[in-house]
Amino acid sequence: MSDKSTSRLRLLLGQLNPLGLPLRQKIGVLGLAFLIALPLLVSLPVVGQFVVLILPASSWELGLYNVAAALFFAMFAMSWDAVSGYTGEISFGHGLFFAVGGYTSAMLNMGHGFSPWISVLGGVLLAAIAGVMIGVPALRIEGPYLSLVTLVAPLILLQVFIFMSDIFGGEQGLGNPENLVGLGFVSNYFLALGLFVAIFTLLWALTRSNTGSILTAIREDEDAVSAAGLSKAKFKIFAFVLSGAIGGLAGAAYVHTPVGSPTPSELMSVIVNVEVIIAAVLGGMGTIVGAAVGGLFVAMLPDYLNLVEFTVPVIGKSISSMSFFLFAIVTLFLLNIFPGGVLRWGIALGRRATGRDGGDEGMAADGGQSPEDAGTNPVAQTMERYQEYYDNMFGGDDE
């Protein structure tokens, strides 16, 4: 027993040594270090000017705001990935959780005078309950049918918001709830970054433990999971509740910052619901890391495009006025060349370059996924899963 725990401790310490990390994790640590140092870097005399150039805004203050907003969006994407990327039950309406978290927290704060910190907890709790409300039906309704439920649920909520606009503020939302850490650019940036790192760490650890293997096994073959003595129902509900709670936490914290407010368009519009999926799939579905990176990319790309002054000659439109259109084009392009997500492609490339073949350990670190085999990537698995449901729907036989 104690033997086992000391060897575990040694393993853990080994894993924490940054020099011993595989290349991709070194890149991750460097990226994180850069994000932490960012507010300091922009205040340095000469370096600062260069750093502002690479920020998605024209000034460092706005740059920090935009990166903070992108960090929140990345949290949304990670919460989607935790359930849909891992279990293969695709949610088309994850904004439901962001909105339940954000609106609950805003209302507790504005209507009942709770401190924003307490209000956020209330938002998390209610979003977790929303996770139960989607997760329990998910045991009976699966695949495309469940996706329909997730698609319709936020639309119903939106109608309620509009119908009872005296309470929920309709399309306009709820105005400005109190901020968690005031208006400071740096403090709000660190709030977002801290929450991002906390959520990332939690989900990363969970998905790299046995829990992650079990969730991906549900995506691959539910009967095999039952045959292994594991309750697929328990794990599915868990994934929905966890995802709901985390999406709710991100949504709640977001409305208590200057970068976000409790409005339908920011938390639960069709665009938000779809962009979250795009971010996770583009980065690499079922990896958490992919959702984090994809989320930052998807959120910041339009900001960068907005900065471009160039006007396209023939049609006479500026790049910045077409930013969403261009975003969609870039996304389609990337999805076509990297069907398994950019992350998997990058890992495979890195392995070829560094001459490591990944082996057993490498696969474990990616949550049971070998990046090379495109036939079993999560997107393909999910497609296959849905294909089965369609076949049954149109009278195919049971086998």
Q: Using CB under 8 A as the criterion, which residues of the chain lie in contact with other proteins when the complex forms?
A: 8, 11-12, 15, 205-206, 208-214, 216-217, 220-221, 223-232, 234-235, 238, 359-361, 363-365, 368-370, 373, 376, 381, 399
Cβ-based nearer residue to other proteins, 129 or 364: 364
Q: What's 21-78 look like in SS3?
A: CCHHHHHHHHHHHHHHHHHHHHHCHHHHHHHHHHCCCCCHHHHHHHHHHHHHHHHHHH
Is residue 123 within 8 Å of residue 102, measured between CB atoms? Answer: yes
Question: In the chain, what is the straight-line distance between the N-terminal and C-terminal CA atoms, in Å?
Answer: 46
Q: How far apart are CA 250 and CA 387, in angstroms?
A: 33
**Least CB distance to other proteins at residue 220 (A):** 5
CA 103 to chain centre: 19
What is residue 312's three-state secondary structure?
A: strand
**Least CB distance to other proteins at residue 40 (A):** 32
Cβ-based nearer residue to other proteins, 213 or 265: 213
**Least CB distance to other proteins at residue 210 (A):** 4
Cβ-based nearer residue to other proteins, 119 or 207: 207
Cβ-based nearer residue to other proteins, 106 or 206: 206
Cβ-based nearer residue to other proteins, 181 or 230: 230
Cβ-based nearer residue to other proteins, 208 or 302: 208
**Least CB distance to other proteins at residue 119 (A):** 27
**Least CB distance to other proteins at residue 227 (A):** 6
Q: How is residue 214 written in tokens?
A: 């079990």
- Residue (of 90, 122, 107) closest to 273 by Cα position: 90
DSSP string, 349-361: HHHHHHT---HHH
**Least CB distance to other proteins at residue 148 (A):** 26
